[in-house]
Amino acid sequence: MERYQKIDAKNFDLKAFYNEFNGKPGSKFFYLVCNNATEYLKKVIRSITLIDAAGGMVKNAKGEYLFIYRNDKWDLPKGKIEKGEGKRAGAVREVEEECGVMVSRIGKRICKTYHTYTVKGEVVLKRTYWYQMSYKGAEKLKPQKEEGITDVRWFRKGHIDAIIKNTFPSIMDVLAKMDLFKDKPGPLSE
């Protein structure tokens, strides 16, 4: 595909790549070619600071899904797992803190996603564990403003175009796993 650029994993350095391409207008999508993706990911993780996080795809009794608006993008509630905290407990805590709701039930894990960003000038890799969650309450949604969240809103499955047009690639991966949109990107061709 024209919009994807192939990169050979042999010479790939995540920190250098991120610093060179982050925020450049007209950036393309990239994919790495390697013999063993699992082993290569382990190598990348050893070369960078890894932050574990967890979050949720929350569905209410009306069949609507919970999204947050942070840093001018639609997102899902998530955050760093605290020391000694399990992934599932961290996911529930983050949803409850960021949205002001009480999770009624946590279900199975949806997927794991990875994304990079900088903390104090250092490139880090965040691994996020995503879980299905249910909400049966009636509390008023309350964005956690100190985390930069300015809006929390429920969206029906067929009405998430605003999300799809203004979110992160890792969130699109979660939405695809949950079958929340029709036009999923197809497999890459060389």
CATH number reported for the structural domain that contains residue 135 in this entry: 3.90.79.10
Tens digit of each residue's pLDDT (9 = 90 or more) over 48-106: 999 999 999 999 999 999 999 999 999 999 999 999 999 999 999 999 999 999 999 99
For residue 6, what pLDDT is reported? 79
pTM for the structure as a whole: 0.87
Q: Please report the DSSP string for 100-123 in residue order.
A: S---SEEEEEEEEEEEEEEETTEE
Residues 67 and 142 in one domain: yes
**In this model, does residue 26 exceed pLDDT 90?**
no
Check whether residue 62 and residue 30 sit in a common domain. Answer: no
pLDDT at 10: 82
Question: Given the structure tokens 């965040």, which residue do they identify?
Answer: 126
Q: Are residues 27 and 93 in the same domain?
A: no
Task: Based on the fold, state whether residues 150 and 77 are members of the same structural domain.
Answer: yes
86 falls within a domain: yes
Residue 152 lies in a domain: yes
Q: Which domain holds residue 127?
A: 50-177
Q: How far apart are the first and last CA of the chain?
A: 7
At position 32, the amino acid (one-letter code) is L
Q: Give the per-residue pLDDT at 190.
A: 42
pLDDT tens-digit readout, 138-174:
889 999 999 999 999 999 988 999 999 999 989 999 9
Question: Are 154 and 120 part of one and the same domain?
Answer: yes
Q: What angle do CA 92, 95, 99 make, to 5 degrees?
A: 150
